[in-house]
């Protein structure tokens, strides 16, 4: 169930607090679109005063690290949402060919490719922001029990990811292209056999 927006949203912190409570984790198209809308909105919103940060901030360097970590988190979430959105349009296996749905297959692959490429862009931005945060010394979450998001863990995960995200996203795009070619080959074979 989609919950209403709790109040006026002025800062990234407001949206991050809402993120943990109201953004949906299901795969319905409207829920994913809503999540993307609010996450992209959060990227362009200003930060709140350091006193209202989601973690305790004691100096300028720590506040800068916090800003990079929040942006990394938002970009990572957007990448995940765009992958989910792309999977709604991506037909992983083409078992048989139906000429009536030829255009829908190809249009779905175009849409999925757009969303997968968007996810790759946001994932690269997330890794870049996390690296900037990692370059600044110090911890953000000294009291991990009281924080909404473990930013230090997020930074570590994004900078030391054992999986090569470029390779993973590349494989998704390669599979999509193979399926697109398979549909085109099946359509060509059907056309050649009828004439």
Please give the structure tokens belonging to residue 103. Answer: 């255009």
**Cα-to-chain-centroid distance, residue 106:** 23
Kindly give the parts of the chain with pLDDT less than 70: 1-8, 18-27, 95-97, 141-148, 162, 193-195
Domain boundaries, the chain: 58-194
Task: State how far the Cα of 11 lies from the Cα of 14, in Å rounded to an integer.
Answer: 5
Q: Is 48 exposed, middle or buried (0-12, 13-18, 19+ CB in 10 A)?
A: middle
Q: Are 75 and 121 in contact (CB under 8 A)?
A: no
Per-residue model confidence (pLDDT) at position 21: 44
Query: Is pTM beyond 0.85 here?
Result: no
């Amino acid at each position: 169930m989609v919950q209403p927006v709790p109040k006026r949203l002025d800062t990234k912190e407001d949206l991050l607090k809402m993120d943990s409570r109201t953004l949906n984790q299901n795969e319905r198209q409207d829920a994913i679109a809503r999540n993307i809308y609010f996450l992209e909105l959060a990227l362009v919103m200003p930060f709140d005063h350091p006193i209202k940060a989601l973690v305790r901030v004691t100096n300028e360097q720590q506040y800068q690290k916090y800003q990079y970590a929040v942006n990394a988190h938002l970009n990572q979430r957007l990448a995940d949402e765009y992958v989910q959105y792309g999977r709604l349009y991506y037909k992983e296996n083409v078992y048989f060919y139906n000429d009536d749905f030829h255009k829908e297959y190809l249009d779905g692959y175009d849409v999925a490719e757009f969303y997968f490429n968007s996810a790759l862009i946001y994932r690269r931005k997330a890794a870049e922001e996390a690296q900037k945060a990692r370059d600044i010394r110090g911890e953000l979450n000294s009291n991990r029990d009281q924080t909404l998001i473990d930013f230090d863990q997020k930074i570590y995960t994004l900078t030391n990811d054992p999986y090569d995200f470029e390779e993973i996203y590349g494989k998704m795009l390669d599979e999509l292209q193979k399926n697109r070619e398979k549909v085109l080959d099946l359509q060509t074979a059907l056309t050649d056999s009828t004439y």
